[in-house]
């Protein structure tokens, strides 16, 4: 027998089944987390001695960190409905700048740090101006700046890597705290934590989502869309500057050709993490898991002796599967 | 041959064990216009989606010409003679009219399978004939991008005819077109009737239904309530059946007690949109703005709100001259704008009810830019309760709500800011009677509390039923002001069409 339900109850249950109460987003993110655990488990079984060793696990975190930092910035940009292709080149330029001011006995340590972060932020700021007030699609603005910045890096270094860096500069990325935890990992955790805080707890973060979710509605609701757009590219640029500094410190040189393709790894981490490519939906911790998955696969396949050529195929496949999941989730709503 | 072209017999459909269509039977005769009415959530669109093959009924069958029809997707429905003209049209904008009509079944010159060459000439000739046939003068070579909503709709109808469809479903076909275009649409419906095509007509607008429908079916809570000849029904009867109770007076009784002037607009002009508009708005007053679609009403209030800046003219708020360059400034001056189109300008469909409600008010719910999440949740819950938004939780995704409830979310979001001046641009478009009534009551109580309200509406009865005073715009100019005792449909229409011819 069909029991008579009140209007309210029927509507509520319909809403629930349409994905109101039963939140598809969280399901999808849970999905990617399970994928992550499965990959971990498989690798642990296949290689219990090498892969599962604590030093290797810490190593994975270390490998994830530079991409993770870039991906955190990329998360802001993609959530706002844009994309930033210039971060890889920015890594190179800021690395060269930092290295050039990090020769032993020349400048105090804060000089290369400030210059790298400042240069990165400035590039991001210009990207933001182009997108927000030039009304140029972000893909095009940052495709242009990607090429320009790469040129600047090559000019600044005369096409040669910058060597001869101070020990203290090398210590920025190369050092450990509590003997085991690399500085890189500490940076990654801090950046992810701060990004997560900003995105979930602050008015600014909510406005980033609002701009990506529906720009016109955001404007009508009093959100300063232009300011938000400039800000997200500046954040991405700033974090690219930090990543450039850390990379230069880690490889103990400022290399003008470094960072090529890093923007794509960062975008991949964000997408695998379930952030919508059209903006407005997704979670910061999705990006963290995305960056970890990329690192785990690279590390695990290395240990298993899979050729780096095959690794590319696996990495690419995972990106496509992640987007498929993303679209399925949307199609059901 | 059966008497009916379409019979949907004993259709059942459940989603996750909740029956949304409960043993519904619908029979449609050839050449009749069959209106289906019901509140949002009554099952109209689900039933139509079953008819189009988008959903599959759990039980029951569909007969076409008395024969059982089996199909499982819209394309197969189309080949069974069923075409649907959607509420939101999706033409391929950069294609010609002729290409649009023949998409997927192009006329070919040489048949090489997938590599066949499209015979554009033949398609255009065919299109021209079709257009002529129903008396529309459009060039088959025009791009879809260039057409108005109404013209795009007509092209859909042409397409349906060219497919020799037997049954044409029209879902809210007049929601985005002007009164004149509605007349034209009705002529086309008559034409379809003359060709023995059955038209299933879904609309919330009762006057239209009575104008066009031969038969009316009422659905409520997924059940069939009644099918009757339109001449045997009237407005009150239908509303009673739709809501299951009687709504005696849809517009609330109000006492007029306008206070001091809170908003004054002087000579406001924005090029090509509106020109030299001046009016005053008092506290406790509902000021209606009438006019045809495209008369510049929405543009005017957007100008006042800072969405698109006017070129010249002054705005005074409580006697003080105010520059409003961005909505942010308007919000600070305690103005609220409930925009015309909740999907495009009112809501962020990718997030939750709570986040939509609090977005304007976040600065007040935060300290040093950090949101007090507990406070935010409380504020959202309060609004949900106050406005009786039917939703399971504040965390529900906004797109899981019905149109009426989504509209209430838009209202909730603006009322949270406690505005003094509230501008409502077509606040009841496409929502059901019950939700409409809720919004009317809310407006009355806001006016009583001393808020100043501007109401834009395309439905003249609504405008007359709620406003204390009406100003009318035509072709971007203010053409008339009516006090309550001058309210008649004719007066408003006369002012609304004053400049229409001159401006074209």
A180: which 2 tokens? 């085991």
Of A20, A204, A276, the CB nearest to B397: A20
Residues in chain B within 8 Å Cβ distance of A222: 326-328, 330-331, 360
- Whether residue A294 is contained in a domain is answered as yes
CB contact under 8 A, B392 and A12: yes
Angle ∠(A179,A185,A189) on CA atoms, nearest 5: 125
Q: Determine, yes or no, domain membership for A190.
A: yes
Q: Closest partner residue to B355 among A7, A206, A216, by Cβ?
A: A206
Residue B362's contacts (CB-CB under 8 Å, 6 or more residues apart) are A203, A206, A207, B371, B376
ipTM above 0.90, yes or no: no
- Token pair, residue A52, equals 């599962």
Residue A174 β-bridge partners: none
What is the end-to-end Cα distance of chain B in Å, rounded? 50
User: What whole-number distance in Å separates Cα of residue B439 and Cα of residue B417?
Assistant: 18
Q: Which residues contact A117 (CB under 8 A, 6 or more apart)?
A: A94, A238, A241, A242, A245
pLDDT tens series, chain B, 504 aa: 578 999 999 999 887 677 888 999 999 999 999 999 887 668 888 899 899 888 889 999 999 988 898 888 888 888 888 988 877 677 777 888 888 888 877 888 877 777 778 888 889 998 988 888 777 788 888 888 888 777 888 888 888 878 888 999 998 887 767 777 788 888 888 988 988 999 999 987 888 889 999 999 999 888 899 999 998 988 888 877 887 765 556 788 888 778 899 999 999 999 988 999 999 999 999 999 998 777 889 999 999 999 999 999 999 999 999 999 999 999 999 999 998 888 888 999 999 999 999 999 998 999 999 999 999 999 999 999 999 888 888 999 998 888 888 999 999 999 999 999 999 998 987 777 778 888 999 999 999 999 999 999 877 888 989 999 999 998 889 999 999 989 887 888 788 877 544 443
The pLDDT of residue B40: 67
User: What is the model's pLDDT at position A50?
Assistant: 87
Domain with residue A165: its CATH number is 1.10.3470
In 3D space, the residue among A260, A203, A305 whose CA is nearest the CA of residue A85 turns out to be A260
Residue with tokens 């619908």: B26
Residue by residue, DSSP assigns B131-188 as HHHTT----TTSBGGGS-HHHHHHHHHHHHHHTT-SEEEEESTTTTS-HHHHHHHHHH
Which of B408, B478, B395 shows the shortest CA–CA distance to B443? B408
Report yes or no on A268 lying in a domain. Answer: yes
CB atoms inside a 10 Å sphere around CB A322:
23
CA B36, CA B112: separation in Å to the nearest integer? 45
A284: left (phi over 0), alpha (psi -120 to 50) or beta: alpha
Among chain B residues, CA nearest to A199: B370
Q: Tell me, which fold does domain B249-334+419-504 have in CATH?
A: Rossmann fold (3.40.50)
> What is the Cα B103 distance to its own chain's centre?
27
Closest CA in chain A for residue B329: A222
Residuewise pLDDT in 10s, chain A (333 residues): 333 334 444 444 444 433 333 344 455 556 778 888 888 998 989 888 888 888 899 999 999 999 999 999 999 999 999 999 999 999 999 999 999 999 988 899 999 999 999 999 999 999 999 999 998 999 999 999 999 999 999 999 999 999 999 999 999 988 898 888 899 999 999 999 999 999 999 999 999 999 999 999 999 999 999 999 999 999 999 999 999 999 999 999 999 999 999 999 999 999 988 898 889 999 999 999 999 999 999 999 999 899 989 988 988 888 788 777 766 655 544
For residue A24, tell me if it sits in a domain.
no
Q: What 8-state DSSP symbol labels residue B253? A: P
Say which of A7, A20, A222 has its CB closest to residue B360: A222
| Residue A35 within any structural domain of the chain | no
Number of A–B residue contacts, CB under 8 Å = 134
Alpha-carbon Rg of chain A, whole angstroms? 21
B249-334+419-504 matches B6-91+147-243 in CATH topology: yes
The length of chain B in residues reads: 504
Which two tokens mark A197?
Answer: 């805080």
* Number of structural domains in chain A: 1
Please name the residue ranges forming H helices in B359-432.
373-386, 403-415
Decide if A17 is inside a domain: no
CB-based contact A220 B366, cutoff 8 Å: no
d(CA A96, CA A117): 12
> Which residues on A lie below 8 Å from B305 (Cβ)?
220
**Straight-line distance from the first to the last Cα atom of chain A, in angstroms, rounded to the nearest whole number:** 30
B360 CB near a chain A CB, below 8 Å?
Answer: yes
pLDDT 10s digits, B8-65: 999 998 876 778 889 999 999 999 999 998 876 688 888 998 998 888 899 999 999 8
For residue B451, the model assigns a pLDDT of 94
Choose the closest CB to A18 out of B330, B344, B400. B400
Contact B373, B362 (CB under 8 A): no
| Residue B150 distance to chain A (closest CA, Å) | 24
Domain membership of residue A149 as a residue range: 60-327
Residues 35-54 on B with a CB inside 8 Å of A are 41
The tokens of A179 are what? Answer: 């003997």
Q: Could you give the count of Cα atoms lying within 13 Å of B184 in the half-sphere of its Cβ?
A: 17
Q: Which residues contact A245 (CB under 8 A, 6 or more apart)?
A: A94, A95, A98, A112, A113, A116, A117, A172
Which residue, among B222, B162, B286, has the nearest Cα to B40 in the 3D structure?
B222
Residues 6+ apart with CB under 8 A from B221: A7, A10, B22, B41, B42, B43, B244
Residues 214-253 of B with CB under 8 A from A: 221-222
The dihedral built from the CA positions of residue B145, B131, B80 and B37, taken in this order, carries a sign that is positive
Among A5, A203, A218, A332, the strongest candidate for a mutation testing the B interface, having the largest count of B CBs within 10 A, is A203
Regarding pTM above 0.80, the answer is no
The fourth-level CATH superfamily of domain B6-91+147-243 is: P-loop containing nucleotide triphosphate hydrolases (3.40.50.300)
Domain boundaries, chain B: 6-91+147-243, 249-334+419-504, 351-416
Closest Cβ opposite residue A221 in set B360, B391, B392: B360
Structure-block tokens of residue B496: 């609304």
| A132 inside domain | yes
What are the structure tokens assigned to A208, written together? 């980033």
Closest Cα of chain A to B203: distance in Å?
21
User: Would strands B6-15 and B312-317 be described as parallel, antiparallel, or unpaired?
Assistant: unpaired
């Amino acid at each position: 027998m069909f029991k008579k339900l009140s209007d309210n109850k029927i509507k509520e249950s319909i809403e629930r089944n349409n994905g109101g109460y039963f939140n598809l987003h969280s399901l999808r993110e849970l999905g990617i987390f399970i994928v992550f655990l499965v990959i971990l488990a498989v690798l642990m079984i296949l290689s219990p001695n090498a892969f599962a060793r604590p030093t290797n696990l810490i190593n994975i975190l270390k490998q994830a960190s530079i991409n993770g930092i870039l991906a955190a910035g990329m998360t802001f940009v993609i959530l706002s409905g844009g994309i930033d292709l210039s971060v890889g080149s920015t890594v190179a330029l800021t690395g060269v700048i930092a290295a050039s001011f990090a020769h032993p006995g020349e400048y105090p340590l804060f000089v290369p740090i400030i210059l790298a972060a400042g240069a990165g932020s400035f590039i991001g700021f210009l990207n933001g101006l182009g997108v927000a007030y030039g009304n140029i699609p972000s893909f095009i603005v940052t495709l242009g700046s990607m090429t320009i910045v790469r040129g600047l890096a090559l000019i600044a270094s005369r096409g040669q890597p910058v060597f001869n860096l101070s020990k203290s500069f090398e210590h920025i990325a190369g050092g450990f705290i509590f003997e085991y935890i690399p500085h890189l990992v500490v940076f990654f955790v801090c950046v992810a934590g701060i990004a997560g805080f900003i995105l979930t707890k602050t008015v600014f973060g909510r406005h980033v989502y609002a701009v990506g979710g529906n720009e016109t509605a955001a404007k009508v609701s009093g959100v300063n869309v232009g300011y938000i757009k400039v800000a997200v590219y500046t954040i991405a640029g700033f974090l690219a500057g930090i990543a450039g500094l850390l990379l230069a410190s880690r490889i103990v040189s400022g290399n003008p050709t470094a960072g090529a393709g890093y923007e794509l790894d960062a975008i991949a981490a964000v997408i695998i993490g379930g952030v919508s490519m059209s903006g407005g939906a997704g979670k910061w911790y999705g990006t963290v898991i995305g960056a970890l998955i990329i690192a785990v696969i690279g590390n695990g396949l290395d240990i298993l002796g899979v050729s780096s050529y095959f690794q590319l195929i696996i990495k690419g496949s995972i990106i496509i599967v992640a987007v498929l999941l993303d679209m399925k989730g949307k199609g059901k709503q | 041959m059966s008497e009916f072209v379409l019979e949907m017999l004993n259709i059942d459909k459940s989603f996750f064990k909740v029956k949304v269509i409960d043993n519904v039977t619908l029979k449609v005769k050839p050449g009749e216009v069959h209106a289906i009415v019901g509140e949002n959530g009554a099952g109209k669109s689900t039933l139509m989606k079953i008819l189009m093959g988008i959903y599959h009924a759990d039980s029951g069958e569909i007969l076409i010409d008395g024969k059982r029809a089996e199909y499982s997707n819209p394309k197969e429905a189309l080949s069974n003679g069923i075409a649907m003209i959607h509420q939101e049209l999706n033409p391929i904008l950069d294609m010609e009219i002729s290409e649009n009509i023949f998409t997927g079944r192009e006329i070919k010159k040489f048949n090489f399978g997938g590599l066949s060459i499209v015979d554009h000439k033949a398609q255009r000739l065919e299109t021209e004939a079709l257009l002529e046939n129903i008396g529309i003068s459009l060039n088959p070579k025009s791009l879809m991008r260039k057409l108005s909503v109404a013209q795009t709709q007509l092209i859909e109808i042409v397409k349906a005819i060219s497919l020799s469809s037997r049954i044409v479903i029209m879902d809210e076909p007049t929601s985005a077109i002007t009164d004149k275009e509605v007349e034209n649409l009705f002529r086309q419906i008559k034409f379809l009737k003359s060709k023995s095509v059955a038209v299933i007509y879904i609309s919330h607008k009762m006057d239209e239904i009575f104008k066009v429908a031969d038969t009316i079916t009422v659905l409520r809570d997924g059940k069939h309530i009644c099918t009757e000849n339109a001449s045997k029904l009237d407005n009150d009867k239908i509303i009673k059946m739709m809501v299951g109770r009687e709504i005696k007076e849809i517009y609330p009784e109000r006492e007029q007690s306008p206070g001091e002037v809170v908003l004054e607009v002087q000579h406001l002009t924005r090029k090509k949109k509106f020109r030299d508009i001046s009016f005053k708005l008092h506290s406790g007053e509902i000021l209606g703005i009438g006019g045809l679609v495209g008369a510049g009403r929405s543009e005017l209030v957007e100008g006042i709100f800072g969405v698109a800046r006017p070129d010249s003219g002054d705005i005074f708020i409580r006697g003080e001259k105010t520059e409003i360059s961005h909505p942010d400034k308007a919000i600070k001056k305690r103005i609220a704008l409930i925009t015309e189109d909740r999907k495009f300008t009112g809501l962020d469909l990718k997030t939750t009810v709570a986040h939509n409600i609090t977005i304007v008010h976040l600065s007040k719910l935060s300290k040093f830019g950090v949101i007090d999440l507990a406070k935010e949740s409380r504020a959202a819950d309060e609004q949900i309760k106050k406005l009786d938004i039917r939703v399971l939780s504040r965390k529900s995704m906004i797109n899981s709500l019905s149109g009426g409830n989504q509209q209430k979310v838009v209202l909730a979001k603006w009322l949270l800011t406690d505005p003094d001046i509230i501008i409502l641009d077509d606040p009841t478009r496409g929502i059901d009677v019950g939700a409409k009534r809720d919004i009317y009551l809310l407006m009355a109580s806001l006016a009583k509390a001393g808020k100043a309200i501007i109401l834009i509406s395309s439905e003249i009865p609504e405008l007359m039923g709620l406003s204390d005073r009406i100003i009318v715009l035509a072709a971007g100019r203010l053409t008339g002001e009516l006090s309550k005792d001058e309210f008649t449909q004719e007066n408003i229409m006369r002012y609304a069409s004053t400049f229409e011819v001159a401006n074209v």
